[in-house]
Structure 1
Amino acid sequence: MQLDTKDYVALSVYTFTFLLGLPANLLVLFVYVRKARKRGTTPNVVYALNLCLANLALVAWLPVKALETVLQDWRLPASICPVYSFFLFSSLYGSCLFITAVTVGRYLSIAIPIIYKIYRRARISCFISAALWAVVFLHLSFALVVEGGGNFVFIKGDTLACYDQFNASHLAVLLPLRLEMAITLFLLPLLVTSFCTLRCVTLVWRSNLRPVGKKRVLTVALTTLAVFVVCYAPYNASHIVGFVLKENVDWRTFAMLTSSCNVFLEPVVMTMLSPAVSRGVMGRICAQQSQFSQIEGCRHQCNSTNGVASVRTPHTLSGRSQAAAELQKIYHHHWYLDQIQFITSQHMNQHTIQIIGLLLSVYIFTFLMGVPANILAFCTLCRKVHRKAVLIDILLLNLTISDLIFLAFLPFKMKEAFDNMAWVLPYALCPFTGFMFYVTIYNSTLLLTAVSVERYLGVAFPLRYSVCRRPRYAVFACIMFWVVTSLNLSIVYIMPYAQWIKGADIDNSNGSTASKSAPPPPPPNCYQIFSDDELKILLPVRLELFCVLFCVPFIICCFCYVNFIHILSRLPNIGRRRRLRAIGLALGTLIVFAVCFAPYNASHVVGYVHKDSEEWRDMALLSSTLNACLDPFIFYFSSAAVR
């Protein structure tokens, strides 16, 4: 097939990026690994290695992208398509987050050098890196499932295309998800990077550095910010434009060319990141360093700021005329339309099978990991409460009980997924299973919030709080949590019975000749399909659940943990190791709260806006399911980390 101008531009960019990016990233990887072995690991080394790995993941798949561009066809097996797309986009967004982490580290080392030096440890940087990768992988996992899973290769004209064609049902879920990724994985890091860069510029400009040093530092910092915008803005802008236009924009592929160029620009950034502590610039700002330290500080700041050259966005041409010609040929051949419809139906069946397989995998993994972990935590906490009842242990014990109840009803959800989301068990178990399943999820959010409040009060008001720190208050709070969640989730118990009764009324109105003594057949699904009248009641209730049982607890958790970390970092009578452990546990708990419960609750808001029950709610619920095997690690260490 003949290539046009935009294909030659894309092929040139891919070839140039591969030839420069592969040796540059391998060289940087070798240099930083050697430095880590000789001089020890620092936060800059950790972030640089993660940036290098992200770039190598993208470089490894660039030949596949170039081959697809040359052949104008997808010749590889269909199962490789999602793997290829996963690594392609994970490296892109991973680079965004790690550049932001580097910028934040530079800012903290200049703005609060003494405090930051205490927590400037490679272990914390490794934890942050793992959290950033987890956020990226979680977003892309949902995207891959929405976009079709393992065999999402469509017919495009006379050829095949990988992740290039989407039907209306895919776009209904995919476009909001892309918008969320653009906001979470690009706009927020961009705001953080901009703030830190501008603050660094202000602090350096007001420091005692010589004019030459100031110009170098400012040039490198501003150039880094410009490259961040130029390389990643076009592709993420396509998400926003696609959401507004309600379609998959044609220029998304070419908007990613600037992001590909970042592969050979980032090694330049990483070579400028010195693993030494930036004592020089801190001393210049404080005006307390020697001349030698000042020279070293200037050189280190210049080498440690992300400085790379800007990239011009390649000009792309529209392919609408060619697409129109292909569509005209399709409309003239009805047999071809029948073939596409058959392939689409086959793909949708495969897509359903893959979703069910993913549900079963997560359910089984959570059950196998969560049951022994929660039983161990339950026994440990029971012994602690039996010896001496402490408020925090009572809260954690209730959290363990909530997770064990959740795990006890998880096999029913496994059976439902195994039966292709049909409910073949006795229908009386349907409302009770759903009720207990969702009550325990939201009860976990309230208990985690109570734990955060207890930690904050113990640090902020230690004397006053010790007076009213009674175990019976924790028991009363736990009872109230169970009552509040049960009342709010009663709709889950009532709705299946209402559907059953409504089905019986419809049969009677249609003149059914069935015996009056025989019970009406129950619905084939359990809390899955809803009528318009049912949605008018259900969607506002779900929005209320989002506001009352997620947003309010999440805001309280953020307030408590942020102030908890702020206060704890200033206490002089606590050992550094204990302080770091407590702060790490607080941040970990907050991240688990957001990652586990945010996706499912976001489906309530999206459903309320769209006036429909979103199809991807079951997929979003998987993160909440994983919380049952993450909670034991949190509360098992909580009672030993903070008193």
Structure 2
Amino acid sequence: IRHPTPIDFQAPKARHRPGMGNHSNNHTCLTDDSFKYNLYGAVYSVVFILGLITNCASLFVFCCRMKMRSETTIFMTNLAVSDLLFVFTLPFKIFYNFNRHWPFGDTLCKISGTAFLTNIYGSMLFLTCISVNRFLAIVYPFRSRTIRTRRNSAIVCAGVWILVLSGGILASLFSTTNVSSTSTTCFEGFSKIVWKTYLSKITIFIEVVGFIIPLLINLTCSSLVLRTLRKPATLSQIGTNKEKVLKMIIVHVAIFVVCFVPYNSILFLYALVRSQAIANCSLERFARTMYPITLCIATMNCCFDPFIYYFTSESFQKSFNIHPQIQMDSISKTETPLTMKTALPAIQEEVNDQAITNGGDPTAESHF
């Protein structure tokens, strides 16, 4: 008597329909995302021109025009450096996307990919540092005096660089170029095995450390600062500068949310469908379509970051001599009295920096 084999109990295979999930190893979805090449080429060209001009100008202001460097200025300088490192790699990406061929070798492909990851997640972490520094200066102005020092800011920046460079290098340890008979690709066309065993894990780690945690910290710090500003005692001390702080928070959160939330949300879904943790053709088409769009939005943070510098640093505004007469009138009427009030001295960072340069009291707690 022949015992039935397991195959005898298998039901007939269902006919595959487009859009239905299929968890077998042979799961494939026909998707066309070739539009991304022209999109990348056009967006990278704009980001290269604008990012190069704005960030070079910003570094010039930070390094040559500002006499005093506060904690926030240190964070913003490192943010501008991170943007420029990415901008310098864009000509290679522009050539690659318009020609759909990478002739520059595997090493330069690794450097290009590392610079991208360093910029995206370095920007989020440096923006988080600025947000935390603002939170400490406004909510705990006296208790945080020993923490908010230029030395500690430099140490934090070094830690951020080590973290983002380690993540970028780790993500590019394997061969990042794929050679075919017609062309060579850079950082794309990886097999499902690579996604399952390596890239998906790296993506999840980067998402948690570089995106989710900084996002929660930024939202928490901003909400606590806003709650502090609503207190009557705070309003009496901050005077007309309340609007300035609100602009700082709005611009800061807007850039973070607009540039980084869509990209990282889609990236998480993209990693799941590429590693076949989720096998659904509709979701895969959606992820492959939205990923290039959100990535382009994320890369435009290089052009938006100077708005952070402008709204956060008054010395940055003064360096361009924008409405000098109006600024001098504003300083003489509002800023001098406010520097004598110490409940929220952090708002007057740039004014007191100038006062210290001119022989003022260096012990005033005003370095925001």
TM-score computed with the length of structure 1 as normaliser: 0.41
- Cα 1:303–1:117 change in 2 (3 A) is closer
Letter in 1 for 2:218: T
Q: 1:388-427: CA deviations, max 9, x gaps?
A: xxxxxxxxxxxxxxxxxxxxxxxxxxxxxxxxxxxxxxxx
Matched, 1:181 2:206: yes
SS in structure 2 opposite 1:272? Answer: helix
Unaligned runs of 5+ in 2: 1-32, 277-283, 316-333, 351-368
Match of 2:270 in 1: 242
Contact 1:25 1:56 in 2 (8 A): yes
Q: CA deviation at 1:226?
A: 2.1
The CA deviation at 1:190 is: 0.5
Compared CA separation, residues 303 and 65, structure 1 to 2 (3 A): farther
The 1:302/1:23 distance shift into structure 2, 3 A limit, reads: farther
Q: Flag the 1:110–1:211 CA change in 2: closer, same or farther, 3 A.
A: closer
Q: Is the 8 A contact 1:232 1:259 kept in 2?
A: yes
Structure 1 residue 300: Cα displacement: 7.5
Kindly state the Cα deviation for residue 291 of structure 1 after the two structures are TM-superposed: 7.2
The runs of 4+ residues in structure 1 deviating greater than 2 Å are 3-12, 155-159, 209-220, 242-255, 271-276, 290-304
Deviation for aligned residue 1:31: 1.0
Q: Give 1:217 shift.
A: 2.6
Matched letter for residue 14 of structure 1? Y
Partner of 1:233: 261
Deviation (angstroms), 1:295: 8.1
Measured after TM superposition, the shift of residue 275 of structure 1 is: 7.8
- Which amino acid is the alignment partner of residue 122 of structure 1? R
CA contact (8 A) 2:55 2:80 kept: yes
Query: 1:88: Cα distance to partner?
Result: 1.6
Query: Which residue pairs with 2:318 in the alignment?
Result: none
User: The residue matched to 1:114 in structure 2 has which SS?
Assistant: coil
Q: Deviations over 1:112-147 (max 9, x none)?
A: 1112122221111111111111111222222112xx
Q: Is the 8 A contact 1:175 1:239 kept in 2?
A: no
How far apart in 1 are the matches of 2:63 and 2:244?
A: 27
Cα 1:197–1:302 change in 2 (3 A) is: farther
Instruction: Deviation per CA, 1:40-99: give whole Å up to 9, x if none.
Output: x32112111100100000110111111111112212223211111111211111111000
Shift in CA distance, 175/61, structure 1 to aligned 2, threshold 3 Å: same
1:23-54 C-alpha deviation (Å, 9 max, x unpaired)? 11111111111255x32x32112111100100
**Which one-letter code corresponds to 1:27 in the other structure?**
A
Which residue pairs with 1:208 in the alignment?
235
Match in the other structure for 1:258: 297
Secondary structure at the counterpart of residue 118 of structure 1: coil
Cα contact 1:28–1:271 (8 A) shared by 2:
no
2: CA distance, partners of 1:69 / 1:92: 20
Quick one: distance in 2 between partners of 1:55 and 1:15? 15
Out of 202, 218, 242, the residue aligned to residue 193 of structure 1 is 218
1:475-514 to 2 correspondences below 5 Å: none
The secondary structure found in structure 1 opposite 2:184 is: strand
Greater Rg by CA: 1
CA contact (8 A) 1:46 1:125 kept: yes
- The answer on 1:293 being equivalent to 2:323 is no
* Corresponding position: 1:15 with 2:38: no
Q: Which structure's residues are more often helix, by fraction?
A: 1
- Aligned CA distance change for structure 1 residues 81 and 214 (closer, same or farther; 3 Å): same
Residues 296, 74 of structure 1: alpha-carbon distance in 2 compared, 3 angstrom cutoff: farther
Q: Distance in 1 between matches of 2:340 and 2:203?
A: 44
* Compared CA separation, residues 292 and 211, structure 1 to 2 (3 A): closer
Maintained 8 Å contact 1:28/1:52: yes
1:274 aligned residue: 313
Judge conservation of contact 2:118–2:165 (CA < 8 Å) in 1.
Answer: yes
Would you say the 8 A contact 1:111–1:203 is kept in 2? yes
Higher relative contact order (CA 8 A, sep 6+): 2
State whether residues 271 and 303 of structure 1, in contact with CA within 8 Å, keep that contact through their aligned partners in structure 2. no
**Aligned residue number for residue 24 of structure 1:** 54
Residue of structure 2 aligned with 1:136, choices 164, 176, 186: 164
Residue 101, structure 1, aligned to residue 129, structure 2 = yes
The answer on 1:164 being equivalent to 2:188 is: yes
User: Hey, what does 1:86 align to over in structure 2?
Assistant: 114
Cα distance change of structure 1 residues 240 and 140 upon mapping to structure 2, 3 Å threshold: same
1:273 positional shift: 3.1
Contact 1:272 1:302 in 2 (8 A): no
**2:144 aligned to 93, 101, 116, which one?**
116
AA paired with 1:293?
P
- Cα deviations across residues 245-274 of structure 1 (Å, max 9, x unaligned)? 225953434321111111011022123333
Pick one of 45, 63, 85 that aligns with 2:91. 63
Matched AA of 1:171:
W
| 1:73 aligned onto 2:84 | no
Q: How many pairs does the alignment contain?
A: 283
TM-score (norm 2): 0.69
Residue 36 of structure 2 contacts residue 292 of structure 2 at CA under 8 Å; is this kept in 1? no
Query: Does the C-alpha gap of structure 1 residues 291 and 182 become closer, same or farther in structure 2, counting only changes over 3 Å?
Result: closer
| Residues 1:291 and 1:92: Cα distance change in structure 2 (over 3 Å) | closer
State the alpha-carbon separation in 2 of the partners of residues 292 and 301 from structure 1: 12
Which residue number corresponds to residue 513 of structure 1?
A: none
Contact map agreement 1:47 1:102 (CA 8 A) in 2 = yes
Distance of 2:192 and 2:38 partners within structure 1 = 31
C-alpha root-mean-square deviation of aligned residues, in Å?
3.0
Q: Which amino acid aligns with 1:256?
A: L
